[in-house]
């Protein structure tokens, strides 16, 4: 909880104070690199330190968390359902299925690759991994989902979603449900690579058909 409190505070300052003060027009690749570096420094490195320090207390030890022995079939079904969900949403919204005109390759490292890595290592690799108990499985997963929703509040504030309650409620529900799916996949597989890949696929489909 100390880690989460500091993360929420630092991320709130970054989104609500620092970002508006330094609203510089970087090109898309510069912005992707800067965002990735900040996310790694703020989210991943502290989480990695805690995972190393408290490894013996974790549900899945660090050395087993990146095992390549994974039965991918159940998780490929989740990815396929994400793909169909976004295709259907794109068709309902635009009346056709096509690539978003605002999609840019620079989004792949920042929005897809490193968001999946940094957020999953912090929230599933560390926070869920350190609080999960078999006898309180769903309490742990739901608590993690609430924390994951909470960390999105600063960026929702920055984007002004609190002035659009319907959109805010929609985003809260989507993030909450996604967190439950990511957490379940980590607990089921005991491998952080699984929720990382699922998270990356969701973000990829999201910007590919809906945009950011």
Q: Average pLDDT of 162-190?
A: 94
Residue 113 pLDDT class (50, 70, 90 cuts)? confident
Query: Longest C-alpha distance within the chain, in Å?
Result: 53
Q: Are 141 and 187 in contact (CB under 8 A)?
A: yes
Percent of the chain topping pLDDT 70: 92
Q: What percent of the chain has pLDDT over 90?
A: 56
Q: Quick check: 69 pLDDT over 50?
A: yes
Burial 16-47 (b: 16+ CB within 10 A, else e): eeeeeeeeeeeeeeeebeebbebbeebbbebb
Q: What pLDDT does residue 90 have?
A: 81
CB 110 within 8 A of CB 31: yes
Higher pLDDT, 159 or 182: 182
Going by pLDDT thresholds of 50, 70 and 90, the confidence category of residue 121 is very high
Where residue 179 falls among pLDDT bands split at 50, 70, 90?
very high
Q: What is the DSSP letter of 101?
A: T
The pTM (predicted TM-score) of the whole model is: 0.90
Predicted pLDDT of residue 23: 62
For position 32, what pLDDT does the model report?
Answer: 73
Which own/partner pairs from 184-189 qualify as long-range (CB within 8 Å, at least 24 positions apart)?
A: 184/141, 185/75, 185/78, 186/60, 186/120, 186/124, 186/125, 186/128, 186/129, 187/59, 187/128, 187/132, 187/137, 187/141, 188/74, 189/70, 189/71, 189/75
- Among candidates 199, 209, 206, 207, which has minimal Cα distance to 79? 199
Q: What is the mean pLDDT of residues 179-195?
A: 96
Cα distance between residue 136 and residue 27, in whole Å: 47
- Distance between CA 16 and CA 21 in Å, rounded? 9
Query: Coil, strand, or helix at residue 98?
Result: coil
Average per-residue pLDDT in the chain?
88
Asked whether residue 185 carries a pLDDT value surpassing 80, the answer given is: yes
26 pLDDT tier (thresholds 50, 70, 90): low
């Amino acid at each position: 909880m100390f880690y989460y409190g500091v993360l929420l505070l630092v991320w709130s300052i970054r989104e609500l104070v620092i970002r508006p003060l330094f609203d510089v027009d970087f090109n898309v690749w510069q912005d992707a690199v800067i965002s990735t570096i900040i996310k790694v420094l703020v989210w991943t490195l502290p989480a990695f330190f805690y995972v190393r320090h408290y490894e013996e207390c974790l549900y899945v030890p660090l050395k087993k968390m990146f095992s390549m022995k994974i039965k991918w079939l159940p998780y490929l079904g989740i990815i396929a359902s994400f793909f169909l969900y976004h295709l259907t949403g794109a068709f309902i919204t635009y009346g056709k299925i096509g690539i978003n005109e605002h999609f840019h390759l620079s989004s792949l490292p920042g929005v897809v690759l490193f968001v999946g890595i940094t957020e999953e290592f912090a929230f599933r690799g560390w926070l869920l991994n350190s609080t999960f108990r078999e006898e309180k499985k769903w309490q742990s997963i739901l608590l993690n989902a609430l924390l994951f929703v909470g960390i999105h509040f600063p960026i929702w504030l920055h984007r002004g979603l609190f002035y659009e309650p319907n959109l805010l409620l929609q985003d809260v529900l989507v993030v909450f449900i996604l967190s439950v799916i990511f957490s379940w996949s980590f607990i089921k597989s005991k491998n952080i690579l699984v929720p990382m890949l699922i998270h990356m696929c969701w973000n990829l489909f999201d910007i590919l058909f809906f945009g950011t």
